[in-house]
Chain A
Amino acid sequence: MRYLTRRVLVLLLTGWAALTINFVLPRLMPGNPAEVMLARFQGRLSPRALAALTVEFGVHTHQSLLAQYVAYWGHMLTGNFGLSLTYYPASVAQMVAQAFPWTLGLVGISTLIAFILGTGIGIAAAWRHGSRLDGVLLPVSLLLNSMPYFWFALLMLYLFGFVLGWFPVGGGLNLAHQAGGWAGLGAIISHAILPAATITITAAGGWVLTMRNNMVAILGEDFVKFARAKGLPDRVVEFRYAARNAILPNFTGFAMAIGFVVGGALLTEIVFSYPGLGYLLYEAVLNLDYPLMQAIFLFISLAVLVANFLADLAYILLDPRVRAVGRS
Chain B
Amino acid sequence: MSLLLEIAGLTVGYGAGPTAVLAVQDVDLAVHTGEVVGIAGESGCGKSTLALAATGLLDPPGRVLQGGVRYAGQDLLRLPPAALRHVRLRQIAMVFQASMNVLNPVLRIRDQFLDAMQAHGITSRREAVERTQAVFELVKVPARFLDAYPHQLSGGMRQRTVIALSLVLEPRLIFMDEPTTALDVVVQRAILQSVNDLRVQRDFAVVFITHDLSLLIEIADRIAIMYAGYLVEEASGPELYQQPLHPYTQALMQAFPPLGAVRSRLQGIPGQPPDLRQLPPGCPFAARCGKVRQGTCDTVRPAMTIVTPGHRVACHLYPVSTEGGKQA
Contacts from A to B (Cβ < 8 Å): 130, 221-223, 225-234, 236, 240-241, 244-245, 248, 318-321, 324
Contacts and interface: CB of A to CB of B under 8 A. Distances in A.
B90 A231 contact: yes
Contacts of B151: 320-321, 324
Contacts of A228: 57, 88
Contact of A231 (B85, B102, B103, B162): B85
B227 interface: no
Contacts of B119: 230-233, 236
Given A231-B119, A240-B115, A321-B151, A222 B106 contact: no
B57 A221 contact: no
B105 A245 contact: yes
A231 B116 contact: yes
Interface of B: 55, 57, 59-60, 81, 85-90, 93-94, 96-97, 99, 101-107, 115-116, 119-120, 149, 151-152, 162, 165
A76 to B, nearest CB: 40
Contacts of B94: 226, 229
Contact of A225 (B59, B85, B87, B116): B59
A328 to B, nearest CB: 11
Nearest to B84: A231
Nearest to B117: A230
Contact of A223 (B85, B97, B102, B116): B102
Contacts of B81: 234
A324 B152 contact: yes
Given A130-B60, A320-B151, A324-B151, A230 B104 contact: no
B225 to A, nearest CB: 25
B204 to A, nearest CB: 16
A244 B106 CA distance: 8
13 contacts: A222-B97, A223-B102, A223-B104, A228-B88, A229-B96, A231-B85, A232-B85, A241-B104, A245-B105, A245-B106, A248-B106, A320-B106, A320-B149
Contacts of B105: 223, 245, 319-321
B310 to A, nearest CB: 31
A321 B104 CA distance: 11
B106 A226 contact: no
B103 A236 contact: no
Enumerate the 10 nearest inter-chain pairs by beta-carbon distance, A residue then B residue, closest first: A231-B88, A229-B94, A320-B149, A222-B101, A230-B116, A231-B89, A231-B85, A232-B119, A223-B104, A222-B102
Nearest to A224: B104
A226 B88 CA distance: 10
A230 B165 contact: yes
Nearest to A130: B60
A126 to B, nearest CB: 14
A321 B115 contact: no
Contacts of A231: 85-90, 116, 119-120
A28 to B, nearest CB: 48
A211 B82 CA distance: 28
Most chain B CB atoms below 10 A, which of A226, A227, A248: A226
A35 to B, nearest CB: 58
Contacts of B59: 225
Contacts of A236: 115, 119
A250 B93 CA distance: 34
